[in-house]
Structure 1
Amino acid sequence: MVTVRTFLVVAATRNWELHQMDVHNAFLHGDLNEEVYMKMPPGFNSMAPGKVCRLRKSLYGLKQAPRCWFAKLVGALKQYGFQQSYSDYSLFTLQRGSLQLNVLVYVDDLIISGNDGDSIKTFKQYLSSCFHMKDLGVLKYFLGLEVARSSIGIFLCQRKYALDIISEVGLLGGKPIGSPLDPNHRLSLATGTLLSDPECYRRLVGRLIYLSVTRPDLSYSVHILAQFMQNPRQDHWDAALRVVHYLKGNPGQGILLRADCDLQLYGWCDFDWASCPLTRRSLTGWFIQLGNSPISRKTKKQHTVSRSSAEAEYRSMASTLCELQWLKGLLKCLGIVHSRPMKVYCDSQAALHIAANPVFHERTKHIEVDCHFVRDAILRNILVTSYVPTYAQLADIFTKALGKQQIDYFLGKLGARNPYAPP
């Protein structure tokens, strides 16, 4: 989904056309290389009892089918002149002089963008000659994402999906709540009764995970709730219902990928030191913008226990740099080269000093060597770090439960919009 958002931001900024195509019975197009046999289908009268069929083509249900189909599609795209990206194997780019075409693949759904409408039309005809394709025209609905485009940019939301979640749990008439999670929650230490049917909890949290694609305000809540999939308790179910009540107040909220974008990468990293009461591991949260458009974010528990808050923030900065470097390579495939260093905002002065000063002392000698590649990136002028006050740290919403006033402030900064709300 990070690639999808980045792909759309570039198309919006450069005013490229966006089209969508679908493949009919995609897995039936794949060529099967392995020797696979199947029983006779029911109702088939064989002349020779005891015989089986040898498959010459892939079928739905085979483990090899997705890989066979993708290999077939890659061959067709490369034959046309596309190059496969090493940053994301589902991205294909074509550059011939001033012409540029980009294709993003998700199983049997394709998004096509480019700077020449006639070339896009010719490419569509080529795909139709190779496979049984369905031309869906201008991109409007992709993998449950509702896409609306204007001169301002591209707006992504999942309003229908959110309303389906609210309806499924029977809260269409419920009262909206201003925040998705209680700021003083102690869900990790909950001792309530176990749910008799945990399947409903798992289904709800699973749907909330996908809804968070266009809802940055749900990232922290979903991260917390997803930790109790194995043995959810009544307290966890009540907390999940609170998230649905929160959705009730703004089901049409989404993110705006702006057209007036400078195509420069900006990162925001934050942490919550020893936030897990069971493992004492810290929580990493980072948020990355391409210009002023949100493209990537993460809320994740750190792998090891940090002995100081400075160490936890430094680890968070290292994770942010990993994502920034990957995004830099992805953008290069789309024809965007970053000559200027990427900027990362951090609210920990101690972590900034560790990154900038090669001083070995008691606070840094236990930090793993791989984290110090932040310092190398600064020395090579790939990265520039800047201090930002805690109240203006955009990644703060990904590391802790906040109140309504703070959530509303951060959502305005994160590029979240709700066109369905009254003015």
Structure 2
Amino acid sequence: MDVHNVFLHGDLTETVYMKQPAGFVDEEHHDHVWLLQKSLYGLKQTPRAWFDKFSNFLLEFGFFCSIHDPSLFICAKNGDVIFLLLYVDDMVITGNSSSLLNSLLEELNKRFRMKDLGQLHYFLGIQAQFHSGGLFLSQQKYAEDLLIAAAMSNCSSVATPLPQQLNKAPHQDRLFENPKYFCSLAGKLQYLTLTRPDIQFSVNYVCQKMHAPIVSDFQHLKRILRYIKGTTTMGISFSNTTNCKMIVFSDSDYSGCNKTSRSTGGFCTFLGDNIISWSSRKQPTVSKSSTEAEYRAMSEATSEITWIVNLLCSLGVPQFETPELFCDNLSVVYLTANPSFHARIKHFANHYHYVREQVAFGNLIVNHISADYHIADVFTKSLSQGLFEELRFKLGVVVCGGI
């Protein structure tokens, strides 16, 4: 659903004056100003005023705001439940009771000017297609618009987003002449990763160069766009027949950055067979060993697990099986159960030991996985075409027609 003139609904709690607008000036008091009672477009207070207005309406109806996601509202009455996800004036609503949903829609239409867009098919640039096996999410239109903006809609495609060798060529180490253009394209690529985990590492890699991009960095960015050109119809398919057990893969590329010697950590979270979150990020400090780099990546993954478990519980989907975290470093797996390498880990920051605490409480199981089967590799390094395509398929990134 969509709200018409959304920012005009908010009530101001602060004193705000405005000059008389052209066409509405009082000739007798032309030097007077208006005292605003309602919010207007352009005010800094407007977004907050609208959110307060709408959230108060939802609370009156019987919703409560999720503490794990402030944009998610949940209403539960006598076994019936409604979930409402809000982003400014756009919202997605679902539930298990038609009568309760109709009651909500009636109240919404009484209080606000609403537009019912029907079954979910397009939301914030994400296209949703329902099929017999579940749901397919993609950003095909967004990707095509991005290629047009980059003047690459007719470029030739490539099989992988980045070459295996990322070291720049000697003659391409001069600064790129238009860094603002580089930053604009890199920022737009970040939004595309919402449904494309296969480009998460490559986009993160080029975004690290935004402060001072060189020519070779721009070549890498263009290669990502060429990869997108050949995969615009790809997205994530969610199966409706899988279980709800949480499985997480964590990995790190030790000292992968040639300039800073920092490592890149990555993880992906699956609920049954469906991928639901992923990350690729350069670690903030240098690790003294591969064990430390892996341990840091595992700590970040464990924080994600805790957040998702709590969010699922608020949605009424408790985890009856303990989440499992897979890592390809045996030393780290042993470390989560027993700090037997104290001399080599005593410098680790305290918050990195969060994963060990979760294992001790029985909230997490850590297992070893062979590097040959480690899905999280795609979030920490550039891979060969064969391995990249294999891991892309395991992530659930497919073409809609191939579901």
Where on the TM-score scale, by shorter chain, does this alignment land: which range? over 0.9
| Structure 1 residue 51, shift from structure 2 partner | 1.4
| Structure 1 residue 261, shift from structure 2 partner | 2.4
Whether the 8 Å CA contact 2:302–2:355 is kept in 1: the answer is yes
| Structure 1 residue 60, shift from structure 2 partner | 0.9
Q: 1:118 — aligned with what?
A: 99
Query: 1:190 and 1:353, CA in 2 relative to 1: closer, same or farther beyond 3 A?
Result: farther
Which of 190, 197, 202 is the equivalent residue of 1:216?
Answer: 197
Superimposed CA distance per residue, residues 376-420 of structure 1 (whole angstroms, 9 cap, x where no aligned partner) = 111111000111111211111000011211111001110111125
Whether the 8 Å CA contact 1:188–1:277 is kept in 2: the answer is no
The 3-state SS of whatever aligns with 1:413 is helix
Whether the 8 Å CA contact 1:85–1:91 is kept in 2: the answer is yes
Q: 1:26 — aligned with what?
A: 6
Q: 2:15 — aligned with what?
A: 35
Where does structure 1 lack aligned partners over 5 or more consecutive residues?
1-20
Q: 1:409 — aligned with what?
A: 390
Whether the 8 Å CA contact 1:188–1:276 is kept in 2: the answer is no
Letter in 1 for 2:111: C
Calculate percent identity across the aligned residue pairs.
Answer: 37
Q: 2:250 — aligned with what?
A: 269
| Structure 1 residue 50, shift from structure 2 partner | 1.7
Whether the 8 Å CA contact 2:164–2:382 is kept in 1: the answer is yes
Q: 1:8 — aligned with what?
A: none
Distance 2:82 2:152 in 1: 45
Letter in 2 for 1:56: Q
The 3-state SS of whatever aligns with 2:394 is helix
Distance 2:391 2:149 in 1: 29
The 3-state SS of whatever aligns with 1:417 is strand
Query: 1:61 and 1:312, CA in 2 relative to 1: closer, same or farther beyond 3 A?
Result: same
Query: 1:189 and 1:300, CA in 2 relative to 1: closer, same or farther beyond 3 A?
Result: farther
Which of 267, 277, 280 is the equivalent residue of 1:299?
Answer: 280
The 3-state SS of whatever aligns with 2:158 is coil
Given the alignment of the two structures, is residue 204 of structure 1 paired with residue 189 of structure 2, yes or no? no
Distance 2:165 2:175 in 1: 22
Give 1:22-421 correspondences, 5 Å limit.
Answer: 22-46=2-26, 47-187=28-168, 192-359=173-340, 361-420=342-401
| Structure 1 residue 45, shift from structure 2 partner | 2.5
| Structure 1 residue 135, shift from structure 2 partner | 0.7
Letter in 1 for 2:349: E
TM-score, length-scaled by structure 1: 0.92
| Structure 1 residue 188, shift from structure 2 partner | 11
The 3-state SS of whatever aligns with 1:355 is helix
Distance 2:96 2:45 in 1: 36
Q: 1:11 — aligned with what?
A: none
The 3-state SS of whatever aligns with 2:382 is coil
Distance 2:73 2:168 in 1: 44
Distance 1:170 1:296 in 2: 31
Superimposed CA distance per residue, residues 138-167 of structure 1 (whole angstroms, 9 cap, x where no aligned partner) = 100000000001221110001111111222
Whether the 8 Å CA contact 1:270–1:316 is kept in 2: the answer is yes
| Structure 1 residue 198, shift from structure 2 partner | 2.1
Distance 2:200 2:169 in 1: 17
Q: 1:18 — aligned with what?
A: none
| Structure 1 residue 91, shift from structure 2 partner | 0.7
Distance 2:90 2:242 in 1: 27
Whether the 8 Å CA contact 2:84–2:92 is kept in 1: the answer is yes
Where does structure 2 lack aligned partners over 5 or more consecutive residues?
none
| Structure 1 residue 360, shift from structure 2 partner | 5.1
- Higher RCO, Cα 8 Å, sep 6+: 1
Query: 1:300 and 1:187, CA in 2 relative to 1: closer, same or farther beyond 3 A?
Result: farther
Distance 2:400 2:229 in 1: 15
The 3-state SS of whatever aligns with 1:136 is coil
Instruction: Name the Cα RMSD after superposition.
Output: 1.6
Letter in 1 for 2:146: I
